[in-house]
Amino acid sequence: MPRIVADIVDGYIFRKVNARVQFLLLLRRADAALGNTWQSIHEKIEPGETALEAAERAVLANTGLTITEAYSADYINQVYDHLRDTIILAPVFAFAVPPRAQIHLSEAHVDSAWCEREEATARLLWSGQR
């Protein structure tokens, strides 16, 4: 029987430019797990860390961006991990960043794109991310 855990967090970074909202997507390295896919932020929650702290840490580590506002998205992403026979419940957060902030990608990513909602949902692989 699969076990149920809540040890992963999802984060969506956005900015407002000319009254329009754009979401930041990151392209995974080709040689990484799930390579060449566009994603938001996904991070393991470390012991003693809250879900929000893990998500904020992941934003900084993966993009170098400074968060100006943080929101609970009032959504729990559900994923089945077949390698661990585990159902993962991931709290989802949204993070505002300054409109002209410079992105500094981590080694896990090779590209980034600011996308409006329609383009972002078209690029994301899983329905739970849309």
Domains of the chain: 3-129 (3.90.79.10)
Are 86 and 109 in contact, with CB atoms under 8 Å apart?
no
* CB-count exposure of residue 93 (10 Å: 0-12, 13-18, 19+): buried
pLDDT tens-digit readout, 105-123: 999 889 999 999 999 999 9
60 pLDDT band, cuts 50/70/90, is very high
**pLDDT for position 128:** 59
State the amino acid at position 120 in one-letter form: A
Q: Which of 25, 1, 28 is nearest to 108 (CA)?
A: 28
In which band, very low, low, confident or very high, does the pLDDT at 31 lie, cut at 50, 70 and 90?
confident
41/11 Cα distance (integer angstroms): 5
State the first-to-last Cα distance of the chain, in angstroms, to the nearest integer: 28
The whole-number pLDDT of residue 127 equals: 60
> Which residues is 51 bridged to in the sheet?
none
Mean pLDDT of 8-15: 97
DSSP single-letter state for residue 58: H
Angstrom CA distances, 56 to 37, 45, 86, stand at: 22, 11, 24
Q: Which of 18, 17, 22, 57 is nearest to 41 (CA)?
A: 57
- Residue 32 clears pLDDT 60, i.e. is over it: yes
124: pLDDT strictly greater than 90: no
